[in-house]
Amino acid sequence: MQVCKVQLVALLLLLSCGMYSHGSKILVIAPFGTKSHWQFFGEIVKTLANRGHHVTSLTSLPMIRHDNVTEIDLDIDLDPIIPNTFENRGWGVSVNLLKRMPGMCAEALSRKQVQDIKIDEYDLIFIGLFVSDCFYGLLEDTQVPMITMSPNGLVSYAHELEGNIDFPSFVPMMGTTMLHPLTFTQRLLNTLANLFSHALTKYYYLPSVEKACKEAALCRPNMRSIEEIAAKSAFLFINNVQALETPVRPYVPAVIHAGGLNCRPAQPLPEDLASWIEGSGDAGAIYFSLGSFIKPKDMPEKFRQVFVKVFSTLPQRVIWKWDEASMPGLPPNVKLAKWLPQQDILGHPKVHLFITHGGLFSTLEAIYHAVPILGFPVFADQGSNMIKSTADGIAETIDWDDLSEDLLNNTIHKMLTDQKYQKTVNHRSQLMRDQPMSPRDVVVYWTEYAIRHKGAPHLQSPVKGMAWYQIYNVDVWLSLIVISLACLYLDIKILIALVRRCCYRTKTTGELKKKKE
């Protein structure tokens, strides 16, 4: 009996070693992206490396130390082209990036390390949905399966990429402030916004990328369109949690929800932070961070003074992520730090409020750790994230132009005293955690599925090969309308003919009677 147990253990160890030693070769193409984007891309890389796969990553933010990961640093800095986000709030930053993206992508593609890559040596390719479009030129002729990654949700362009039907009638476009249910005017505006986004991508952005790539002799002159090559994507991994989406929306099988990859259970805090929070007593603590992309030092002085004055009146202690070790007029109940373990802070039971810019990753982490949110969106999707979170009942949103001492103080007081925020975010946290598979298991399963089934063509949506008027049956409805109008026209003509004939007979009969008389 003992011998059988030893043999069984040895067999399991052998199988385990075999599984990990025969890992697939995976290429991850994500040459650009903010640190927050790499919380999604990087977690995919680490998850697959931990599984035993050998991952080569093209990046400008090397940060993963793992025996199974080879990072190729393309050394392209985004900071010089990103303006002060406080002075360029709204979509100004995005518009500026859109103009620079084609040239930036071509610059990354031209790197010798990239040109030396032999695509067909890999078993699978991941490509990020952010300034990576020119890299499709490398993938035109390969039969290697491909998966696309989006650090956000399903943007309008990505619907077409995977053959997923978008419904602007009830799904607000990402980046807008509209909420379901939409009024007629909102449905009209949402539809126009979708059409504009689609046209901007199809007729301006992608042609600009192709032009820059061909002019740099990095793509073949007769290369197929980027849209055609990108449509070979087996799956699209999106940073969304389906149980948290409102309203519920339809997806084709190729769209895989992997939201929350960045979320994890809280770990013990460093001693200084732990003692600071523990010393807050019954009042608890507030955590204030504007993420990794926005530079706190760019905050206008008038805004900084409002926060300082309001924080000084609070019974709570405040942990504030700031560029410098000190600031003028810093109250004794406020602690500054250049870097903070965000999830470990949010997971502490004495942290009762999270003041944030409303980035998707910060929002997901707040929900995961069940901490209500006070949002100050700056640009891009942050506004829509906070509008949605406010509508879900887990947040309040303050526009920077409306910021005042009274508004900030009253909002903080309301959120800390009204238990509806905590109860609602507790429920949302339960929904996020109550899934049949963890996000990491989802990534592993569908990645290996794509490798096993050579891109899983049997799961591809037929919508990919259909024209828009066929998808929505526009030609069918027009035909039915034309036929109906033709039938109506014929009916009217027949009716008029019958009426005239009846009138003629009546008139003729009358005339005959008069003649007889």
Six-digit token pair at 18? 């075999």
First to last CA, the chain: 127
Statement: residue 136 has pLDDT above 50: yes
Confidence band for 19, pLDDT divided at 50, 70 and 90: very low
Per-residue confidence (pLDDT) for residue 10, from 0 to 100: 40
pLDDT, mean of residues 65-86: 80
Statement: residue 141 has pLDDT above 70: yes
Q: How many helices (H) and strands (E) does the chain have?
A: 18, 13
Going by DSSP bridges, is the β-strand pair 235-238/285-289 parallel, antiparallel, or unpaired? unpaired
Statement: residue 16 has pLDDT above 50: no
Percent of the chain with pLDDT over 70: 89
Q: Which amino acid is at 242?
A: Q
Per-residue confidence (pLDDT) for residue 7, from 0 to 100: 45
Query: What distance in Å separates the CA atoms of residue 326 and residue 475, rounded to the nearest whole number?
Result: 66
Per-residue confidence (pLDDT) for residue 206, from 0 to 100: 92
Statement: residue 2 has pLDDT above 60: no
The answer to whether 375 and 356 are in contact (CB under 8 A) is yes
Query: What distance in Å separates the CA atoms of residue 325 and residue 339, rounded to the nearest whole number?
Result: 11
* Cα 319 from chain centroid (whole Å): 28
Per-residue confidence (pLDDT) for residue 512, from 0 to 100: 57
The answer to whether 152 and 131 are in contact (CB under 8 A) is no
Q: Which amino acid is at 283?
A: A
Give the pTM.
0.88
The answer to whether 108 and 128 are in contact (CB under 8 A) is no
Going by DSSP bridges, is the β-strand pair 124-128/373-375 parallel, antiparallel, or unpaired? unpaired
pLDDT, mean of residues 424-449: 96
Statement: residue 3 has pLDDT above 50: no
Q: Which residue is associated with the tokens 């059409």?
A: 195
Q: Tell me, which fold does domain 271-433 have in CATH?
A: Rossmann fold (3.40.50)
Per-residue confidence (pLDDT) for residue 277, from 0 to 100: 95
Per-residue confidence (pLDDT) for residue 82, from 0 to 100: 65
Backbone dihedral angles phi then psi of residue 18, each to the nearest 5 degrees: -65, -40
pLDDT, mean of residues 318-343: 93
Per-position DSSP letters for 436-447, written without gaps between them: SS-HHHHHHHHH
Domain at 23-241+437-468, CATH class: alpha beta
**pLDDT tens, residue by residue, 221-233:** 999 999 999 999 9
pLDDT, mean of residues 164-185: 88
Per-residue confidence (pLDDT) for residue 11, from 0 to 100: 41
Closest among 122, 57, 22, 48 to 442, alpha carbons compared: 48
Per-residue confidence (pLDDT) for residue 297, from 0 to 100: 81
Per-residue confidence (pLDDT) for residue 18, from 0 to 100: 39
Per-residue confidence (pLDDT) for residue 337, from 0 to 100: 93
The answer to whether 175 and 152 are in contact (CB under 8 A) is no
pLDDT, mean of residues 306-313: 96
Helices (H), 249-350: 271-278, 301-312, 342-346
Confidence band for 514, pLDDT divided at 50, 70 and 90: low
The answer to whether 182 and 487 are in contact (CB under 8 A) is no
Statement: residue 419 has pLDDT above 60: yes
Higher-confidence position of 193 and 5: 193
Mean residue pLDDT across the chain? 88
Closest among 250, 18, 48, 25 to 119, alpha carbons compared: 25
Statement: residue 89 has pLDDT above 80: no
Q: 188 to each of 169, 387, 493, how far by Cα in Å?
A: 8, 20, 37
Lowest mean pLDDT among 296-300, 389-393, 437-441, 486-490: 296-300
Q: Which residue is associated with the tokens 């253990």?
A: 9
Higher-confidence position of 158 and 374: 374
Statement: residue 21 has pLDDT above 60: no
Statement: residue 196 has pLDDT above 70: yes
Per-residue confidence (pLDDT) for residue 255, from 0 to 100: 96
**pLDDT tens, residue by residue, 248-289:** 999 999 999 999 999 999 999 999 999 999 999 999 999 999
Number of residues that make up the chain: 517
Statement: residue 130 has pLDDT above 60: yes
Residue 201 DSSP label:
I
Confidence band for 517, pLDDT divided at 50, 70 and 90: low
DSSP collapsed to 3 states, 217-268: CCCCCCCCCHHHHHCCCCEEEECCCHHHCCCCCCCCCCEEECCCCCCCCCCC
Q: Which amino acid is at 247?
A: P
Q: 92 to each of 35, 96, 379, how far by Cα in Å?
A: 20, 6, 8
**pLDDT tens, residue by residue, 340-388:** 999 999 999 999 999 999 999 999 999 999 999 999 998 778 888 999 9
Q: 314 to each of 153, 283, 307, 383, 420, how far by Cα in Å?
A: 37, 9, 11, 27, 21
Residue 282 DSSP label:
G
Higher-confidence position of 313 and 323: 313
Per-position DSSP letters for 310-369, written without gaps between them: HHHT-SSEEEEE-SSS--TT--TTEEEESS--HHHHHTSTTEEEEEE---HHHHHHHHHT
Helices (H), 313-419: 342-346, 360-368, 382-392, 405-417
Statement: residue 110 has pLDDT above 50: yes
